[in-house]
Amino acid sequence: MDSPEGQSQAEAPDSRQVPSLDAMSEVPKLGGAIGRVIGWIDTLFIVLANLALVAIAATVMLQISGRLFLPYSPAWTEELSRYLFIYMVALSSGVAIRRNRHVNVELFHHRLGLQARAGYQALINLMIGAFAGILLPYAWLYAQNGAWQTSPTLKVPMLYIFFSTVVLYALVLFYSVVGVIEGLMAMQRKPETGSWK
């Protein structure tokens, strides 16, 4: 059995690692009226993504209940849950970029100073935004292909389903531009100043 001293020594490395996992979040976000508007947009898309998640859970529960208690299971539940999942991912993609919650490998971020992190953020967001900007027109063409198709069981035009790619790339592009602006502005700050007002 470990002594209290041994436990505190064993926990010490873990407590030092936690701040380094969120190193990029120290780059200051936009403030003022623009920051508030972006915060409202964040909240809107978080609420929509959470509603999609709740709807997925309700749809799956309906499917399970149908299999257990009804003579047949509704065929449309699997399809609807799939479409809701696609939209949940699309709606939350931009906020994941804004909050640095997308998949990345953090090997050196905690070793960078604030201005270097800001420059790194601007560079990464510039590349992500360029990628999304290139794909956005093709996503729109892809969505238009669904105008004359309908889904197998729900019979909704596939345009609405394929439009999720437009939503995805538009949000990624928007939030990447915001990330570039925040990174460039943070690079201009003096290290001793506080967050944006």
Question: With 50 as the cut, is the pLDDT of residue 160 above it?
Answer: yes
DSSP string, the chain: ---HHHHHHHHHHHHHHHHHHTGGGGSPPP-HHHHHHHHHHHHHHHHHHHHHHHHHHHHHHHHHHHHHHSSS--THHHHHHHHHHHHHHHHHHHHHHHTT-SS---SSGGGS-HHHHHHHHHHHHHHHHHHHHHHHHHHHHHHHGGGG-B-TTT--BHHHHHHHHHHHHHHHHHHHHHHHHHHHHHHHS-TTS-S--
Question: With 70 as the cut, is the pLDDT of residue 12 above it?
Answer: no
The pLDDT, as a whole number, for residue 50 is: 96
- Does some domain include residue 13? no
- Does some domain include residue 6? no
For residue 53, what are the domain limits? 27-103+112-188
- Does some domain include residue 176? yes
pLDDT-derived band at 197 (thresholds 50, 70, 90) equals very low
Number of domains in the chain: 1
Total-model pTM: 0.79
- Does some domain include residue 98? yes
- Does some domain include residue 178? yes
What mean pLDDT comes out for the span 2-14? 50
pLDDT per residue as tens digits for the range 60-76:
999 888 888 888 778 89
pLDDT-derived band at 114 (thresholds 50, 70, 90) equals confident
- Percent residues over pLDDT 90 in the chain: 47
- Does some domain include residue 143? yes
The pLDDT, as a whole number, for residue 191 is: 58
